[in-house]
Amino acid sequence: LFYCFEDDHLTQVVAEVHNTPWNERYVYVVPISADMTSPKQFHVSPFMPMNT
């Protein structure tokens, strides 16, 4: 995780996420004022399709 500040205020968080079996990587940039949800970017389980 990387924390981004402006004038001593947290403005966003940057997270780099990996899923080992598929060797995929995605970087999430989350503004603090925004909703903290994000669509699924890669597989998390061989038993769950991407659209669940």
**For residue 37, how many other CB atoms are within 10 A of its CB?**
6
Say what the pLDDT of residue 47 is: 76
Instruction: State the pLDDT confidence band at 3, using cuts at 50, 70 and 90.
Output: very high
**Domain ranges in the chain?**
2-31
Q: Exposed, middle or buried by CB within 10 Å (0-12, 13-18, 19+), for 34?
A: exposed
pTM: 0.59
pLDDT tens profile 10-31: 999 999 988 877 888 889 888 8
- The reported pLDDT for the residue numbered 35 is 64
pLDDT at 6: 95
